[in-house]
Structure 1
Amino acid sequence: MNAQPAAPATHPFTLRLALGLVGVLIAALTSGLNDRVTDLALADVRAAIGFSYDRATWITSAYQAAEVAAMMVAPWFAVTFSLRRFALAVAFGFALAGILQPFAATPGLFIGLRVIQGLFGGALPPLLMTVALRFLPPGIKLYGLSAYALTATFGPNVAASLAAFWTDAVGWQFVFWQIVPPLLLAGVLIGWGLPQDPLRLERFKQIDLFGMLTGCSGVALMVLTLSQGERLDWLQSPLITGMLCASIALLVAFLINEWSHPLPLFKLQLLQRKNLTHGLLVLAGVLLVALSGSALPSAYFAQVEGFRTVQFAPLALAIGLPQLLIAPFMAFLLNLRWIDCRWMLTCGAALLSVSCLMGAQLTDDWARQNFWLIQLLQAFGQPMLILPVLMSATSVILPPEGPYASAMFNTVRGFSSVAAGSLVENFLTHREKFHSHTLVDQLGNRPWLMTAANSADASAMKPLLPDGSASSAENLGHFATLLKHQAVILSISDAYLLLIGFALLLVLLTAWLPKRVWPPQTLIQTQTKAVR
């Protein structure tokens, strides 16, 4: 017997159900905040628990690996145990792991708890898309997808302020305990608002155990490879080489298995629908381009200006907070029949390209006020990219196929976030080294600069040094600092230009999608008129 998912029972959209969906939204946002806040506060956490820098990097890597792995299997278990039961269990486990985290006495136990919390946390975002696709009526479906988009636009940009508040004003333990109040609220809303589906334990007769083992292991090893590769010198490290080869082999086996399994985690045949394939590709690119509004400004202020997180957090808030209004407004526009989502996506890519072009003019004279317009363009451009992608991709998904789409979409999203961060970080590192070597070579070709650097004559150093130093050692120290800052600035400028290229690539991918997608409620109205 083939246990393909049956059409889920229909439920009228009431205030009670709406509050249940709000509970799932709160839980999903809390999961994203936990990941990002912990990452930003890692230096303070590491100092408090006595971890070395190298060991502390595994705190983030282990969490991210477990998180992405859980995204692959969460929709399957949600259908099997019911959305409400599974969401409540996952939210409770996520909160409990956060409560216990600061009490971990050994490094192994600390990282182990992060892995457990990553498994619970990674299971929450897929549930948000699943409930949006299943319960929302056509007229407000796009507003539900805009709520899902907040997990990519609102949460990551609010995290900087929260990380600074907990570590500077309260205590590092609250980096982990902050999740408890919102999860308690989410649990109450989910338990009261979501309908209770029956158990479908018969699905275990066709459980895709081989796919779960190969897929989750493969993607987890790939995440660890990307997050630890630069620190361990990539293929020069036997550990990185082994993880990379194992992950490729496991993922190939996973994809082969998914194509023929009767009840897979990923229904790869759905990729024959061009809209879904386009959505997955563009989503990966959007997550990369969006780093121009977070990673690049924070890199400048941290490395050049020496700012702490709390000092550049307002720039991130300039993107995050407006999403509470901008995302629903974009959903409203997409609900208008005369607005083509392909054109909105193109306009979003154009806004991000303009913001990156402005960022590429970065100099050492820039302060926070130079970034406000850039961040404003980011605040509008990011939802203008993400919402059309969600609208286009989900338009070809039937309700029984929602769990498949959710698993694929969220796994791509989770993995792409890690891959994008790794790409930008490694690009900045290598370009900084390149510019440092170039500047030093130019210095060697100008002997008068070397003479000035070794001279105590302050007037000779004024073009290069911030003030007249009393000794050649101080002069050389100032000069080395200026060289490093200039190399960092040039590398960030290069990164802005790189991301412009990816933004333009998104436009080309959209041109490859000739079929227009109509708003859900207007499509229903058209079909109704045709029947009449």
Structure 2
Amino acid sequence: MNANLRVLAHILAALTLGITQGLGDQFVTANQQTIQGHFSVTSSEAAWLVAAYSATRIPATLLLYKARTQYGLRVFTELGLAVYAVMTLLHLVVRDFDTMVMLRAAAGFAAAPLSTLALLYCVLVLTERFRLSVGLSIGLLGSQITPPLARLISPYILDRVGWDGLVIMECGLALLSLAVVLMLKLPEMPRSRVFGATDAISFPLLAGGIGLVSMVLTLGRFYWWLEAPWLGWCLAMGVLLLALVCAIEINRKQPMLELRFMMQPTLLLFAGTMLAARLVMAEPVTGAVGFFQNLGLLNDNMAGLQIAILSGTLAGTAISCVFCSPDRAHWLHMAGLAVIGTAAWIESGSTSVTRPPDFYLPQAMIAFGTALFLPAAMAWSLAWVMRTNPTKLMGYIAMFLGSQVLGAQIGSALLGSFVIIREKFHSAQVVAHLTLQDPLVVQRAQQYGAAYRPVLGDTTLQSAEGLVRLGQLATREAYVLAYDDLFLTVSAAAALMLLGLLTHRALVALRGLGATRTA
């Protein structure tokens, strides 16, 4: 095959693999209301499908490192994609919700290698000059575009085929990815025996611990953290299992988790920075989409907004392909945070008459900033790993991608909970001023009640319905104020992170200047 065609084929393969995994998750996340109607469940119950997929995906990503070393990445991937395709096919025949949750858990486990494969297909086919720029930027692109892509195409599929149409498309993408992996084979790496008897203990503990913590993060804001005792028990058990894993893995010669490597100060600082960044980057789904959903808009009403987000992501990826490098990472980080903070500040002035076109620019800016930040962060960290301990590279990639999933869950949990808390505060403030002793409130309630006059002849019932409508509008306005608080908080968090990075760069420059003068 011609060298240029070979590169193009691998780039398309990377995008296919990233989109396959992303859409498998986002089709469920973006269509919670459809799922509620299809399976006759509540919103809290529908969230179990998202929790099940994420809970198994993270430990399976961490397992990939050892599986690749002993059995080869090709075998693990081909088997996983075949199982993933079968799991999605079973979605068509299963109508029981509890069984569907188990299928989503199995699908999340089987699809776990796809994000790592997407990176490898881009990075390994390119020359060394472009691996940390074009390779990483495009390798991460597939998973970045799936949230807006899922919300963009879902309404058309649901209108024509229903929920089964989304399942068929997910299955088709899994089979396409399997065909891609079979046709474009990655070079085999040296194999060695790394699995031991202790792994039979460590991995179930790891899977159980991460699964329980992930489930709590996803479901906590739906059942509420302090009102469902089982959430506390699950979190405690998850932390206990993870503590047992750490106690087992810390002294192993061939551990599943490279704890000593991960506990280095540089990586701990990097992990903290990425966690804070993930909090900021969760704004589009938890913030903007949630804002418009509370105003009564559906996915098909937000098509233009999703196109704007896609455009911002593609523009950011194009810039990243040109400028991304470990040496420029801090500049791209600062540019990304500045853009995200500015966009969130623009959104913080929203009202109940704000509509998706008002968010086109700020949401495109947030997508642009995210597309600048992530590849630069991974380029810097990979370069650091290659300098300090290159034998840990594959393990680090698996840990990085797994931590990004967990970081996204933490970000969504915190932002979603923040909105609920602030809504309760603003609702109390708004309702406190709605008294029937105020003639303006009485007049407005009568106006709303008059709308029911054609169907309700009783004036008492009309007044009651008018008060109900007034209460609904008060709740809506409270949610608008809560989301404004969220946008402002995200903007402040981005500004603080930017200030921290500027301070760090200033200290590095001063130390360098001091060393030069001493010499």
In structure 2, distance between residues paired with 1:327 and 1:419: 25
In structure 2, what is the equivalent of residue 308 of structure 1? 298
Secondary structure at the aligned position of 1:179 is classed as helix
Q: Percent identity, aligned pairs only?
A: 20
Cα displacement (A) at 1:135: 5.5
Deviation at 1:444, TM superposition (A): 4.0
Q: Which residue in the other structure is 2:357 paired with?
A: 369
Of 87, 101, 104 in structure 2, the residue corresponding to residue 97 of structure 1 is 87
Contact residue 340 and residue 369 of structure 2 kept, 8 A: yes
Q: Counterpart in 2 of 1:8?
A: none
Q: Which residue of 2 aligns with 1:158?
A: 149
1:493 to 2:484 alignment: yes
Deviates more, 1:84-93 or 1:344-353: 84-93
Structure 2 residue corresponding to 1:137, chosen from 110, 117, 127:
127
Quickly say closer, same or farther: Cα 1:86–1:24, change in 2 above 3 A.
farther
Pick from 336, 342, 355: which aligns with 1:354? 342
How many positions carry a matched residue from both structures?
494
Does 2:16 correspond to 1:23? no
Q: Which amino acid aligns with 1:79?
A: T
- Please tell me the residue identity of whatever aligns with 1:40: A
**Is the 1:64–1:118 Cα contact (8 Å) retained in structure 2?**
yes
Q: 2:3 & 2:268 partners in 1: Cα distance?
A: 30
Mapped to 2, the partners of 1:473 and 1:291 lie a distance apart of 40
Distance 1:351 1:172, change over 3 A: same
The 8 Å contact of residues 66 and 195 in structure 2, kept in 1 or not, is answered as no
CA contact (8 A) 2:69 2:193 kept: no
Instruction: Determine the structure 1 residue equivalent to 2:453.
Output: none
Aligned equivalent of 1:269: 260
Among candidates 474, 482, 497, match of residue 483 of structure 1: 474
CA separation of 1:357/1:152 partners in 2, compared to 1, >3 Å: closer, same or farther?
Answer: farther
Instruction: Tell whether 2:282 aligns with 1:291.
Output: yes
Contact 2:28 2:49 in 1 (8 A): no
CA–CA separation in structure 2 for the residues paired with 1:55 and 1:284: 27
Native 8 Å contact 1:443 1:450 kept in 2:
yes
Cα deviation per residue 1:262-299 (whole Å; 9 max; x = unaligned)? 12223233336555444433332333212323332222
Where in structure 2 are there 5+ consecutive unaligned residues? Answer: 451-459, 509-519
| Alignment map for 1:314-325 (pairs within 5 Å) | 314-325=304-315
Q: Distance in 1 between matches of 2:10 and 2:69?
A: 17
Counterpart of 1:56, as a letter, is A
The answer on whether the counterparts of 1:33 and 1:159 sit within 8 Å (CA) in structure 2 is: yes
Structure 1: how far apart are the matches of 2:268 and 2:347? Answer: 31
* Structure 1 counterpart SS, 2:111: helix
For the residue of structure 2 that corresponds to 1:293, the secondary structure is: helix
Aligned match of 1:410: 401
Of 185, 188, 209 in structure 1, the residue corresponding to residue 179 of structure 2 is 188
TM-score by length of 1: 0.84
Residue 222 of structure 2 corresponds to residue 231 of structure 1 = yes
Aligned partner of 2:32 among 17, 42, 50: 42
Q: Report the residue type matching 2:100 in the other structure.
A: F
Is the 1:300–1:492 contact (alpha carbons within 8 Å) kept by the matching residues of 2?
Answer: yes
8 Å contact kept, 2:119–2:140: no
Alpha-carbon displacement from aligned partner over 1:455-484 (angstroms, at most 9, x marks no partner):
56999xxxxxxxxx9942343233212211
Q: Paired residue for 1:79?
A: 69
State the distance in 2 between where 1:53 and 1:201 align.
Answer: 47
- Structure 2 equivalent of residue 111 of structure 1: 101
CA positional deviation for 1:354: 0.7
Ranges in structure 1 where 5+ consecutive residues have no aligned partner: 1-11, 460-468, 518-532
- Corresponding letter in the other structure for 1:315: L
How far did residue 40 of structure 1 move?
1.5
The equivalent of 1:334 in structure 2 is 324
Relative to structure 2, which stretch is displaced further, 124-133 or 216-225?
124-133
Say yes or no: does 1:386 pair with 2:381.
Answer: no
Is contact 2:337-2:494 (8 Å) kept? Answer: yes
- Shift of the 235–292 alpha-carbon distance from structure 1 to 2, 3 Å rule, reads closer
Q: Distance in 1 between matches of 2:297 and 2:339?
A: 27
Shift of 1:506: 2.7
Q: Is the 8 A contact 1:72 1:407 kept in 2?
A: yes
Partner of 2:425: 434
- Tell me how far apart the structure 1 counterparts of residues 428 and 46 of structure 2 sit (CA, whole Å): 30
Q: CA deviation at 1:441?
A: 1.3
Listed one character per residue, the Cα deviations across residues 342-361 of structure 1 (whole Å, up to 9, x for unaligned) are: 12211111111111111000
From the superposition, tell whether residues 420 and 50 of structure 1 become closer, same or farther in structure 2 (CA, over 3 Å).
same
Q: Residue by residue, what CA displacement relative to the aligned partner does 1:415-457 show, whole Å, maximum 9, x if unpaired?
A: 1111211111111111111111111112349733454356569
Bigger relative contact order, structure 1 or 2, given CA contacts below 8 A and separation 6+? 1
Question: TM (normalized to structure 2)?
Answer: 0.86
Deviations 1:55-97 (A, max 9, x none): 3222221122112222221222123221222222212211221
> What is the Cα deviation at residue 511 of structure 1?
4.4
Confirm whether residue 254 of structure 1 aligns to residue 211 of structure 2.
Answer: no
Aligned partners of 2:148 and 2:307 also within 8 Å? yes
Contact 2:316 2:372 in 1 (8 A): no
Over 3 Å counting, the alpha-carbon distance change for 1:454 and 1:315 in structure 2 is closer
In structure 2, what is the Cα distance between the partners aligned to 1:301 and 1:348? 25
What's 2:501 paired with? 510
